[in-house]
Amino acid sequence: MTGTYDNYDSDQEQSGQQTAYTVSAVADYLKVSLESDPRLADLTVIGEVSGYRNPSSGHHYFALRDDKSVIRCVMFKSGRGGQFLGDGTQVICHGRISIYTARGDLQYYVNSVEPDGIGALQQAFEEMRKRLESEGLFELDRKRALPELPSRIAVITSPTGAVIQDILNVLTRRYPLAEIILIPTSVQGEKAAPEIVQAFKALNALDDIDVAIVARGGGSLEDLWAFNEEIVARAIFSSNVPVISAIGHETDTTIADYVADRRAPTPSAAAEIVAPDLRDLSGYVSGYAARIDEIISRNIRDSRSQFEMAVDRMNLRVPDTAMPRQRIDDLLTRARLAGQRLVESSKQRLATVEASLNALGPEKILRRGYTITRTADGNAATSATQFVAGDKLGVTFSDGSVETTVDEITETGTKAESN
């Protein structure tokens, strides 16, 4: 016999006695028999996962069982939904039945896995939430305060897509003082959780990071699932710097949100929470400058009046006979002038410094002969095309403003004539 299945029937019938087949021949025959059954070639199975292993090859090995039977299963790394595999989880698999001839094992070759209904996912979520909570991962006591003026902000998210853009846009507008260190990761699918874990390891190895944001846009419970995984929760817990989480929409709360030091409702909100607004900082600076100005002005007024009082007291105490009155008056006048010069020179120095501060404000620019042109609704106009003849137009000078009407527009030129 040649060992091919075509020969089974004929060999046996012709010889009338039992033929010994090679192991390979039998295995091959079984393989072809199973694979030629269309029901086994396209099969959906529901069951509980047990004996789950995920070695470095990336393939998934497990068994599906119910209360009576067990089927060995494999899903290659190209399969979808591997993140839902775990001992004890109830899943729905899709694939085909065949034989792994090297071992003679009947195997279910799975190509996709889904959790058995959202109910099972939510149950898994609740169980893990309770377990990690009892371990103290969500303790309010360990939540760290965010830095006031962060210099280096790590952002752990997908390098493509709207989330990183939203974060960068907000920070460019509100807080361009920082360096953003993007640590790129997948944020959904089975690679996401291990990559996020690696990202936190990379974060902990970096120096001088002040705070981290871990973010993902909105999606279904399955899409967000990586942020409910225990390894991700522990990675966030192990971060050396405070972590702000922004996962999905405001209504989605993931395990990652519970562990993070601060939860933001959206990625944009995380970028607002992580640092103060430039305009507020500028306001503090101006406030301090005004306060210093006020103190020094009071100081100068006080010094001047103290000096004059002192001169007056000296005048009163001079005995009439000691010196000619004329000379005494001269001395006192000179003292008074010297005092005034001191005060004046202080005031002059102040004026110089104040001028340099004012140089930054728009008032200074206006005093140089520039004006601001406004449309009828009061907004600054940037183009002649914003007007048509007859429109109202406002012009702001450093010392006031003028309301006028547009007569003619010359678009190629740079001016819109007005009366």
Residue 205 interacts with other proteins (CB under 8 A): yes or no: yes
Of 284 and 370, nearer to other proteins (C-beta) is 284
Contact string 118-157 vs other proteins (x = CB under 8 A): -------------------------------xxxx-----
Residues in the chain: 419
Cα–Cα distance measured from residue 189 to residue 181, given in angstroms and rounded to the nearest whole number? 23
Helix (H, G, I), strand (E, B) or coil at 305: helix
Nearer to other proteins by Cβ, of 202 and 318: the residue is 202
What is the Cα–Cα distance from 407 to 414, expressed in whole angstroms? Answer: 15
The phi, psi pair for 58, rounded to 5°, reads: 95, -10
Q: Does 342 bind other proteins (CB under 8 A)?
A: yes
Binding mask 256-295 toward other proteins (x if CB under 8 A, else -) reads ----------------------x--xx-xxx-xx-xxx-x
In the list 32, 162, 314, 360, the residue contacting other proteins (rule: CB under 8 A) is: 360
By CB under 8 A, the residues from 101 to 120 that bind other proteins are 102, 107
Neighbours of 170 (CB within 10 A): 19
Rounded CA gap, 226 and 191, in Å?
Answer: 9
Torsion of CA 65, 66, 71, 72, to 10 degrees: 0
Q: For 220-348, where are the E strands, in sequence order?
A: 243-247, 262-263
**Residues 172-191 contacting other proteins, CB under 8 A:** 172, 175-184
Nearer to other proteins, 19 or 172 (CB): 172
Give the number of residues in contact with other proteins, rule: CB under 8 A: 65
Q: Using CB under 8 A, which of the segments 8-16, 194-202, 237-245, 366-374 binds other proteins?
A: 194-202
Residues in 53-82 that interact with other proteins by CB under 8 A: 53-57, 59, 61, 74, 76
Return d(Cα 282, Cα 176) in angstroms, integer: 13
Number of separate helices (H) and strands (E) present in the chain: 12, 14
DSSP-based helix, strand, coil % in the chain, nearest 5: 45, 20, 35
Which residues, other chains included, contact 116 with Cβ-Cβ below 8 Å and sequence gap of 6+?
46, 89, 90, 91, 92
Contact status: 206 vs other proteins (CB under 8 A)? yes
Is residue 216 within 8 A of residue 270, CB to CB? The reply is: no
Near other proteins by CB under 8 A, which window of 1-9, 16-24, 349-357, 366-374? 349-357
Residues that bind other proteins (CB under 8 A): 53-57, 59, 61, 74, 76, 100, 102, 107, 149-152, 159, 168, 171-172, 175-184, 195, 198-199, 201-202, 205-208, 278, 281-282, 284-286, 288-289, 291-293, 295-296, 299-300, 303, 342-343, 346, 349-350, 353-354, 356-357, 360
